[in-house]
A and B are shown apart, each in its own frame.
Chain A
Amino acid sequence: MAYLYPMKKVFFSLVCLLCTQIAFAQKDSLQIDEGNNYIYYRVVDKPSLSADTLYKRGWDFAVAFNPSAKPAKGKAESTLNTSGKFIVYSGVSLMRKEGGEINYTINIQTKDQRYRYRISNFVFKPYQRDRYGNMVPIPGIEVPLEKMSTKYGKKDTDNYLDQVASFCINTAAKIKQAMDKQPLVKKTDPIKKVSTENW
C-alpha cells in the first residue's frame, strides 16, 4: 500500500498536465468586433514617443514582416495596412498536412504615445490534393473565418481557429518588438563543451 501515495501524485500530475493543455485553447485570444467578425485587437501605450515615430516603426515592421506586399497608407490619419497569408494544417502528428491557407489584413494606427493594431479579414482557402500528390488551393472557394463552422465540423473549425490565434499571438509579439525598436536577438544556446584534458 505504500506505493499508492506516490502513484496518486503521479496520477494527479498527469491530470493537471492534461487540464493545462486543454485550458490553452488559443482561439480564445481572438475577439469578435462590432461587425461580428473575428479580430485580434490591441491598444498599447508607448509613452514619450510621437505618432510619427511610431508610424515609421509600424511601416518598417510591415515591410519586414511581409516583403512580398508593400504596405499601404490607410484612409484615417497615421494608419497603414498590409496583408498576407499563412498555411494552416489539418490532422495531427503523422497525418498532419496542409489544410488550406488563411488570408489576413493587419491594420496599424498610431497617435502620440499610443498605437493600436488589428489583425482581421481572415479568409480561409481550402486545399485539395492534386494529381501530382501536392496540396493546392481549390479555385474559387473562399470561406470567411466567421462562416467556417457552417462549412466544416467543430473539430476542424476549432483546429483552424487555434492556428489563426497562434499566428496572431506570434505576430503581436513581433509588432511589439518592432514598436519597442528592440533589435532582433538571435537565441543561441550555449555550446556544451566537454573537457578532454582531465580523464
Chain B
Amino acid sequence: MAKPLPLLRGTLDILVLKTLSWGPMHAFEITSWLEEKSGGRLDVDDSALLQALHRMEERELIEGAWGVTENNRRARYYSMTAKGRAFLKAELAKLAEYTETLSGVLAARTV
C-alpha cells in the first residue's frame, strides 16, 4: 500500500461535496468512497470528517437527515444543497486554475 497523502487545507470540503454529488450518503459511506477512489492514499481522520460534516451543514452546503442503513442501523444521510453544488463548482474551477498555473510555473525550464 502506498504511503497516505496528508490532506491540503480546505480540500476535505471539496472532496466530501464531490462524493455527495453521487447522491446522499452517511458518514461511513463517504469515508469509504474516498478511501476506495484514492486507493487508500487519502488520510482522512474519521473524527475530522464527522466534524467537517457538521461544519458544512452549518454553512448550508449539505443537509443532514436521519435514515436507515442496509444493516438496519439509524444513520444520518447527507445530501448536497443547491448552495453546496454551486460552491463545489466554483471551488473546482479555482482549483483547476490554480493547478494549471502552478504546474505551468513549475514546468518552465531555466534558460
Do A and B form a real pair?
no
Q: Which residues of B contact A (CB under 8 A)?
A: none
Q: Which residues of A contact B (CB under 8 A)?
A: none
